[in-house]
Structure 1
Amino acid sequence: PSCEGHTADHVRDPSRCDQYWICLPNGTLYEQPHVCPDGWIVNIDKLVCEPINEESEQCSIPDPECDPSIPKVCFHKDTCPDRDEGIFPYADEDDCGVYHACHFNDVDIKCDPATPYFNGQECVDDANQCCKCQAVCSVAWIFIPDPFDCHGYYLCQDLNGSIEADKEYIVTDEEKFTCPEGEAFDTNTGLCSKSAEPCDTKCGGNSFTSAYTTSATTMIFTPIVSH
């Protein structure tokens, strides 16, 4: 943040929604930001802290220019980063049209009707981008189901060392396999089985896999800022 044009005033922190900075009379930033209490967020028009609510979604997603570490894997309540890393949105477990802000008391933030589905970063108009449609690896060398094909599965091979670095990742096409004819993937046993037929596919459309291979780490989504 910069105090240019601000003297004895407050300026927003473009990378954090729960704090702002104070500009001193000499035109310099005070050395420490003002951090809002738990459950409060900065009103970017008034530059004061206020309780988070449905109208606070303009400030629920960090600016990627200031925070290049914005994740691509959907966060959930139990996987939110520490608060000192920033305020990130996380998916609702039951409703793809609702999301929440980490560490802010489970306040529901609803997607607009024109873009009714939350994909972990923003609200979009494609139901196949719902967080439930992500196949995410968090442990190496286990099988996980393909949300788009109940006859398919993935073997988490950690091709890029994400799990070794203690990070989840969205599966790659290189890790995809298909059950033998007449069998489906049994989510209870983690194996293909005839008894799993007939099966239900969780999501429709194209597979939701990461765009990288073993030689790159560029994921499929580009975050869009919402202030």
Structure 2
Amino acid sequence: MEPMALPTATGIRTGVEGSSHCIYSHTSDMATTAKCLLLLVALAVKPSQEVCAPDCTGVDPGTSIKDPTDCTRYYVCLSINGEMIPSEEAVQCPSGHYFNSYHSVPRCDLIEDAPEGFCSPLCDPCAPDCSLNTPGTLQPHPLDCSLYYVCLADGHTLEEACPVEFRYFDYRTGNCQVDDTLCYRYCDLCLTHCTYDGQMVIDPYDCHRFYLCTPPTEALYLCPHDQVFNTGTGQCEANAACEVLCPSKNP
């Protein structure tokens, strides 16, 4: 079966069969109308220009490329049946090294010799980000391959679903298709994902703890007075709901 390209958003509907519909009438409720108006911003649905995943586009086989989530790791690109793909797992640089993607031959170099800002930019594979994408581009759902996000104005997103007959979203092409090996698979809720200096992120195993990020390192802290770390505000709060991102594993 050929992959199903996602159609252009219109004033009547967007997405594919099984996803959200927009039909205007004088009886439409405000929520539906608001959603449809937002959809009009996405005039041309297309693959995302920025996805938090390794990208082997335009490189030679055997080339090492950066892990966009961790500056101390890299992937190796190979040509499989004419298609360039990254290695299944990222490769860790030796202790005290970072991956220097700007060297003439990308390699692991000593952190102590690294230039300022060597560990940026980074991205969070579990947080769809439309800030660098034009309205209408698509982002994969980090945990459910049958879903995807349409980027709207001002970095907002709209969740949509693939149809049953093309249930898997290919994050590279922006198509719903039948091959589950093309799913986005880079989000691990049991890992800490730091993206910038000074960021505070929850300990995935304990809602009373958080990490202060200084990529590529982080320090673990305990919220005072039995407070809970609020993932929405990024602060310790007395009345926040406890959210354990990784309850099924031990650190």
TM range (shorter): 0.3 to 0.5
Question: Structure 1-normalised TM-score?
Answer: 0.37
Structure with higher strand content: 2
- Per the normalisation by structure 2, the TM-score is 0.34
